Amino acid sequence: MRRLFSDRIAGAFRSVTALHEEPPRATGEKTASPTNGLAESMIDRKRIARFRIFAALLVAASGSAAVRAEDPATTFLEALRGRGYYDTALDYLKSAETSEVVPAFFKAQIPYERGLTMVELAAVEANRDLKIKLLKEAEAHLDEFLTKNSASPLVPSARKETANILIAQARLLVRDAKGTDQAKLAEADKLYAQAYQSFQAIREDLKKRLEAIPKVLNDNDRAQRLLRETRDQYRQTYQAVRLLSAVMLVEQAEITKENKAEYEKRMNQAIAELGQIYTDYRIFYAGFQAKVFQADAYLKMGRYADAIAAAKEVLEQEDPGLRSIKIQALAVAAPAWNHESIKQYDETVNQVGAMLDTARPAEEREPDFLRMKLSLAKALKARAEASANPTSSDAKKDLRRAKAMSFQVSNVQGDLQKEARELLVALGGPDAAAEEIEPTTFVEAQQAGRDAFDVAQSSEATLKTIQTRLKEAGGNDAELQQQVEALTQTVAKARGDAVRYFRDALRLAGPDEDPASLGRVRYFLTVLYYGNDDLHAAGVMGEFVARRTSEDPTAPYCGRVALAAYKKLFDEADESLKDFYLARTESVATFVGEAFKGQPEAAAAIATLIPMQLQAGKIEEALALLQQIPLDSPLRAQMDLLVGQIAWAEYLRGGAKVRELETAQAPAEEIAALQMKRDALKQTALTTLEGGVGRMQTAKYGKTEALAVIFLAQILVGSDRAQDAVALLEDPEKGVLPKLAGGNADIEPKIAAEAYKVALRSYVSSIVSGANANDAIEKAKQTMDALDGAVAEKKTLISIYISVAQDLQKQLENAPPNQREALSKAFAAFLEQVRGEAQQLDVLVWVAETFYGIAQSAVGPDGVATPAAKGYYEQAQGAYAQILSMGKNKGGDWLPKDVERTVEMKLAMIDRELGDYQGAIARFERVLAPNNSVLNVQTEAAETLMKWGQQDPQQYFSAIMGARKDPKTQRNVIWGWTRLSSVARQNAKPENDMMETFFLARLRMAEALRGYALASKDAAQKKKHLELAEKSIVEIAKAMPTMGGADWRRKFDDVLKAVQKDLGKPTDGLSKVLPPPAPETASR
Amino acid sequence: MPSVPSADGLPRFSRIICLNWTLTTMKSFLLRFGVGLVAATFGASAAFAQQDQLYKTNDEVVRGLVSGTTPGSVTMTVNGAAQAPIPSSEIKRLIFAEEPGELRRGRESVLTQQYEDSVAELAKIPAGNYPSLVQQDIEFYKAYSASQLALKGSPGSNANDAAAALVAFTRANPNSWHYFDARKAAGDLAALTGNYDYAASAYGELLQAPSLSMKVEGKLLQSEALMRLGKHEEALAGYKQVAAANANGDDAIEKYKEFAKVGQAVATAHTGQPAEAIKSLNEIIATTDPTRDQALYAKIYNGLGAAHLKANAPKEALLAYLHVDLLFLQDPDAHAEALYNLSKLWGSLNQSQRALDARQTLRERYGASAWASKE
């Protein structure tokens, strides 16, 4: 019972401290319903905030008529604290000291506000040392305020906060003393005494202040209105201080229990003070609160009759708004009724029984309810034992119920658990076979059913515990095995009995039976049917309750059970019945979702429908359903994640589809429509994943959670929110990286690799958005190490790094032009650092590829490398060269041959971009020498010759006819466009893209001829080559009128027109050769 | 884009005078006039019921037949004689004799800003061959109601559909007296969805309005759109024009001027003088009553946040935006702007949970806003 009292006191302090005070009421001055505590507290906060402004104005303005508009500092500060932003509130107070807009009156009260903020922060601080530190700092600030502002109307409130700090410090000492450290207890006692004295002094001060304010005030007069506000505030503080000091006395008395006289003196004093508060505020909530504290104090002292009398004053109230305080009163009264000096067991049984009957499911395990249940069990046991005929059915019923009650309490962790278990043992353990009765009335049957149900539930809980122990013991403990068997029988029998009794109850129900009682019986039957796997019956009964008695409080839950039953039947049904149960599931889910909107059951029903819609590919419908699940429902997060992940997966799949359509040259509008759909999917994925990740429970972190975080990070980093992505990935609670570091076994290696990929990309990208570059680089390096550890195969690792590089390049290309340069620089700086230290091939390839990508994205719109692009090409060149050099030095298979050739090719391409055509061609030759039938290398080599042709027209011929004769074969190592087109044409198949190479080669041939012609000084030569160019295009048009699609046709047409212009002919392009192209649909 | 409220808090349907008289309206007039002749053969009360009724803002009622409209006026013919055009700024409501009851009720709901009701009521209008002016009114109120719901972010509303309906309306009815209201609403929707180019152009059309108040409003809103487009110099010039306007006792213009002063300060911050901007905004705070206009205060603090950001003072910027999030959150656009910036600032101050919370609130409350999709 020690807990009971101290909890209450702590609660009182908390509520009073947190809300500052009770509403501004004195006896006879009723301004609102005394029972509506929540609403009052909300009003309080606003009133107090307003009061602070008024109070300060009283001091600062001192009658000044003009109120200057200024920063709404007090309200803002209240709002910051209200949201729990204590750190920001403290920052604000710091900035307010020097602010030009913060009013002078507010500046004067900054120390007070700082102290108050720290007191509130200390209340939520779990770390003991920090809590002490905060309290000390708060005290110093409040002292500062009191010293400098002795005339402020906030002085009483500041002093009250100071006293509260003393109590908080005393409480910490009591906790540390653990009941034995007398020195600490004595110190705590002193602090309590100081707090009490402070409270008394505040009371005296407030009295004087109140007396100084006229009784009658005119609200139409501004000054008098301000005074009324001040008076209200003083009255609130006065009331709060009285309650606090009285309750604190009880707490203080607890530590002097060894000294009976002192203990009784303090308790009596507390009782007297609480009694007086009740007298003064008897029609208000605070008055009843005082009365319950008083009853508890009596109980503590062993004055049971007085405790009962005090509690009764509260219990006799009929106002339904007082339910919560009546529960507290009952939890105090029941042990008093049970005491051997009182022995009013019937009171406990009747009153507690009645209260338990009205208990909401969420209340069943609350401390006050558990206390009441334990008291009820004790009363029932005592009553049965005191019965004249202990073997009578009534006595047996009492014992059975006592067992059920104590069993329930024994299954809940807490300070009552031990006592409940001892009681259960005294009662002979959970019932194995309750005696069967034959109920003759509805009430009897209902009670019997309820008792059997309780037994079933309690036994089931114990069964689970014992099964776990048995499993831990390897299944070899005979005693535990026996207990499991016995309890299994008990559960089965109790469940069967409960069903039978509840069915009897329905049979025995008269036409005027209380609908609420009938609803409860049906509810239990629904739950029992489901538990017994009688799914059809559970579905039918649950649906009946939900639809036919939807006003009944159990209706939503029954609907949920019905839904679960039908869903299970659907999952288990053969094909012939699937449709039937699917229809039932959808029908019940829709009904529950709509009929019980806003309740958890509605959310659960909708959550059942969402996967069904997703399975059918209906993401929009699933999204619409998602909006119907309240944000605070735990299911919302799960469903957010599910919808978000499916939407993101669809978005990615859509990307492949877009590429497919582009390759197939599908109509632009079709591609645009798909793109729009993808944009919507991305938005859906972002919104739902952000919501879901924000709300997700992280106690069980597995694949779903990890994927959700990875997907969201992918979206964020792709949307220039790299820092958000980093914050998310690293979040100690939700981030996937800490989970991987902690060795989460539920995250598969493939998912881990994806996590590291997105992390790497995020770290690199975060540099540009202002993250500390060194930190980001360090973390990126750690990520690469982790990636190396997670992926064993080198080629896979390289392809992962290349894909990250490609992602980064895509990001660069999509970045707004004004950000691109900064982004490039950040990437480059990062890459240089990595390159300097990297020893792994995969990392170096990644570095080089990324440099190359950055360079390409810095190329000007005319295709000419800008100075910046050249710089990046040179850096890429350095990285590729480093790979070759390290390959030589390390030897072995460090640098596989195919990778080496790719590196060479890249180097050749870079030479070309840097204008070193000779060097480039020499490299291409080296690459092609061992095997010259690699079409992409041949294409790049020919392109290089084309570029060279701009400087040396002779190279145009090489581009067409090939170059670098092999002395052995006497054939050109570099083929040129003619041979390329021929090889491509011969090898073209529907499944490859050789025709693309073919058309490219033919187009380039025409361009090369034109380039050569234009460079020629001989008019005849010029004309001849221009005509050749013209002919080459006309020939291909005639031979292949489709021209490889609209794109190619346009390109050929452009070149042909240019040639015709050069020749002085009409520039009619392909129009004379081919019929006009089909009209194109405008793209979006 | 803040939607600057009108002085009376009600939507405006009255502004412009334009005197071109089109064939369409002539046809309409002839048709209407014919109806009027038939109506004149009935008794006095029946004749009343068969007349159009124009309620002016000064509570005067003009009964007759609407014989012509322009984007800025309505001309009534009373007892066969055409009256002087009535500026739309003086019109409270215009009721047509042949209009269905649903249109009347829908219109009243619009006037009291009950847009869910107006949508429901207008949807009930039975299909029929209504005179073109009545049909115009039906189309306008439907499109306008949808736009206001979209601007509020009401569930089920769609900004793009509403914008398309408004654009279709103004294209089909360039002489409607609702023209400028439709353009302004289209501008608001464009701003909401981040299409500031279009918004600037639509608001720019308001400069053709004959009413000074609407012209000033148009300039202010156009400047806001230009700010969003990063055209700070142009925006600054626009704000200066608005701030210098002569209000002549017009409360609405006075309000626009206050907004413009704030805008001017914010534009100053963007043009490289954040310290000066902060000083100006603090002066405005010191002289403006916070309880008087929440939207204005929201704009001031958002401006202060932007100026502090420009001055590289993220903590101060955070506090400024928090003022909007905690105290002045009634204006959806301003609140969305604050939430967007808070999500960024919390992130940069290593408060990832608060950053996520802010972004989540932004998405949930203002999903249709451009701020929600801004990266």
Query: What pLDDT does A428 receive?
Result: 66
The answer to whether A1013 and A1022 are in contact (CB under 8 A) is: yes
**Alpha carbons B11 and A489: distance in angstroms, whole number:** 73
Instruction: Return the SS3 of A973.
Output: strand
Burial class (CB in 10 A: 0-12, 13-18, 19+), A211: exposed
Burial class (CB in 10 A: 0-12, 13-18, 19+), A450: buried
CA of B77 vs chain A CAs: smallest distance (Å): 47
Burial class (CB in 10 A: 0-12, 13-18, 19+), A598: exposed
User: Which residue reads 């500390």 in tokens?
Assistant: A772
Instruction: Return the SS3 of A625.
Output: helix
The answer to whether A71 and A101 are in contact (CB under 8 A) is: yes
**Alpha carbons A504 and A445: distance in angstroms, whole number:** 6
Closest partner residue to A79 (CB to CB) among B290, B316, B326 is B326
Mean pLDDT of B201-218: 91
Interchain contact A95–B (C-beta under 8 A) = yes
pLDDT in tens, A657-703: 877 787 777 788 888 888 888 888 888 888 888 888 887 777 778 88
Is residue A455 pLDDT above 90, yes or no?
no
| Of the candidate ranges A244-258, A592-606, B320-334, the one whose mean pLDDT is the lowest | A592-606
Determine the residue among A54, A88, A640 to mutate to test chain B binding: the one whose Cβ has the most chain B Cβ atoms within 10 Å: A88
pLDDT in tens, A371-415: 999 999 999 999 999 988 888 888 988 998 898 888 888 766 678
Instruction: Count Cβ atoms below 10 Å from residue A539 Cβ, excluding itself.
Output: 26
Interchain contact B41–A (C-beta under 8 A) = no
Phi-psi region of A68 (alpha: psi -120 to 50; beta: other; left: phi over 0): beta
Closest partner residue to B316 (CB to CB) among A68, A76, A95 is A95
Interchain contact A721–B (C-beta under 8 A) = yes
DSSP per position, A166-230: HHHHHHHHHHHHTTT-HHHHHHHHHHHHHHHHHHHHHHHHHHHHHHTS-SS--TTSHHHHHHHHH
Query: What pLDDT does B31 receive?
Result: 34
Beta bridge partners of A974: A963
pLDDT in tens, A782-810: 888 888 777 777 667 777 777 777 777 77
Query: What pLDDT does A760 receive?
Result: 85
Instruction: Count Cβ atoms below 10 Å from residue A478 Cβ, excluding itself.
Output: 7
Closest partner residue to A727 (CB to CB) among B155, B315, B355 is B355
Average pLDDT across chain B, whole number: 82
**Alpha carbons B122 and A863: distance in angstroms, whole number:** 57
pLDDT in tens, A463-481: 777 788 788 888 788 877 8
CA of B324 vs chain A CAs: smallest distance (Å): 10
The answer to whether B331 and B295 are in contact (CB under 8 A) is: yes
User: Going by C-beta distance under 8 Å and a sequence separation of 6 or more, which residues neighbour residue A896?
Assistant: none
Instruction: Return the SS3 of A963.
Output: strand
Cα–Cα nearest to A459, from A424, A506, A413: A424
pLDDT in tens, B30-72: 333 333 322 332 333 334 446 889 998 888 899 999 988 998 8
The ipTM is 0.73
Query: What pLDDT does A42 receive?
Result: 28
Query: What pLDDT does B17 receive?
Result: 23
Residues A681/A685/A686/A692 CA torsion (nearest 10 deg): 160
Q: Are strands B81-82 and B86-87 parallel, antiparallel or unpaired?
A: unpaired
- A1009 pLDDT band (50/70/90 cuts)? very high
The answer to whether B263 and B235 are in contact (CB under 8 A) is: yes
The answer to whether A712 and A686 are in contact (CB under 8 A) is: yes
Give me the helix-helix angle, A994-1015 and A977-987, nearest 10°. Answer: 160
Tokens representing residue A418 in the block? 């031990």
The answer to whether B242 and B256 are in contact (CB under 8 A) is: yes
Cα–Cα nearest to B221, from B16, B38, B4: B4
CA of A636 vs chain B CAs: smallest distance (Å): 13
State the amino acid at position A1011 in one-letter form.
Answer: G
Is residue A59 pLDDT above 50, yes or no?
no
Mean pLDDT of A574-598: 80
User: Going by C-beta distance under 8 Å and a sequence separation of 6 or more, which residues neighbour residue A786?
Assistant: A740, A756
- A116 pLDDT band (50/70/90 cuts)? very high
pTM: 0.45
Instruction: Return the SS3 of A972.
Output: strand
Mean pLDDT of A180-188: 89
User: Going by C-beta distance under 8 Å and a sequence separation of 6 or more, which residues neighbour residue A64?
Assistant: none
CA quadruple A46, A47, A48, A54: dihedral positive or negative? Answer: positive
Mean pLDDT of B322-326: 94
Q: In this prediction, what percent of chain A has a pLDDT beyond 70?
A: 88
| Of the candidate ranges A4-18, A885-899, B150-164, B352-366, the one whose mean pLDDT is the lowest | A4-18
- A37 pLDDT band (50/70/90 cuts)? very low
Cα–Cα nearest to A599, from A543, A542, A549, A555: A555
**Alpha carbons A876 and A860: distance in angstroms, whole number:** 18
Instruction: Return the SS3 of A291.
Output: helix
The answer to whether A390 and A373 are in contact (CB under 8 A) is: no
**Alpha carbons A165 and B174: distance in angstroms, whole number:** 72
pLDDT in tens, A724-735: 899 899 988 888
**Alpha carbons A713 and A725: distance in angstroms, whole number:** 5
Beta bridge partners of B73: B70, B87
CA of B217 vs chain A CAs: smallest distance (Å): 26
Residue with the bigger pLDDT between A168 and A833: it is: A168
Closest partner residue to B286 (CB to CB) among A91, A101, A686 is A101
CB contact under 8 A, A691 and B373: no
Interchain contact B158–A (C-beta under 8 A) = no
Residue with the bigger pLDDT between A756 and A816: it is: A756
- A778 pLDDT band (50/70/90 cuts)? confident
Instruction: Count Cβ atoms below 10 Å from residue B132 Cβ, excluding itself.
Output: 15
Mean pLDDT of B84-105: 89
The answer to whether A1016 and A964 are in contact (CB under 8 A) is: no
Mean pLDDT of B164-172: 93
Burial class (CB in 10 A: 0-12, 13-18, 19+), A46: exposed
Residues in chain A within 8 Å Cβ distance of B350? 727
Beta bridge partners of B61: B55
3-state secondary structure chain B: CCCCCCCCCCCCCCCCCCCCCCHHHHHHHHHHHHHHHHHCCCCHHHHHHCCEEEEECCCCEEEEEEEEEECCEEEEEECCEECCCEEHHHEEEEECCCCCHHHHHHHHHHHCCCHHHHHHHHHCCCCCCCCHHHHHHHHHHHHHHHHHHHHHCCCCCCHHHHHHHHHHHHHHCCCCCCHHHHHHHHHHHHHHCCCHHHHHHHHHHHHHCCCHHHHHHHHHHHHHHHHHCCCHHHHHHHHHHHHCCCCCCCHHHHHHHHHHHHHHHHHHHHCCCHHHHHHHHHHHHHHCCCCCCHHHHHHHHHHHHHHHHHCCCHHHHHHHHHHHHHCCCCCHHHHHHHHHHHHHHHHHCCCHHHHHHHHHHHHHHCCCCHHHHCC
Interchain contact A92–B (C-beta under 8 A) = yes
CA distances from B357 to A164, A443, B28, B51, B366 (A): 32, 51, 56, 57, 14
Which of A439-448, A990-999, B173-182 shows the highest mean pLDDT? B173-182
Mean pLDDT of A25-45: 30
State the amino acid at position B108 in one-letter form.
Answer: E
Mean pLDDT of A439-465: 78
State the amino acid at position A557 in one-letter form.
Answer: Y
**Alpha carbons A81 and A89: distance in angstroms, whole number:** 7
Residues in chain A within 8 Å Cβ distance of B357? 694
Instruction: Count Cβ atoms below 10 Å from residue A739 Cβ, excluding itself.
Output: 22
Interchain contact A772–B (C-beta under 8 A) = no
**Alpha carbons A878 and A217: distance in angstroms, whole number:** 86
Mean pLDDT of B283-303: 85
Interchain contact A75–B (C-beta under 8 A) = yes
**Residue of chain B whose Cα is closest to the Cα of A69:** B289
CA quadruple A845, A848, A854, A858: dihedral positive or negative? Answer: negative
Q: Where are the alpha helices (DSSP H) in A532-554?
A: 535-548
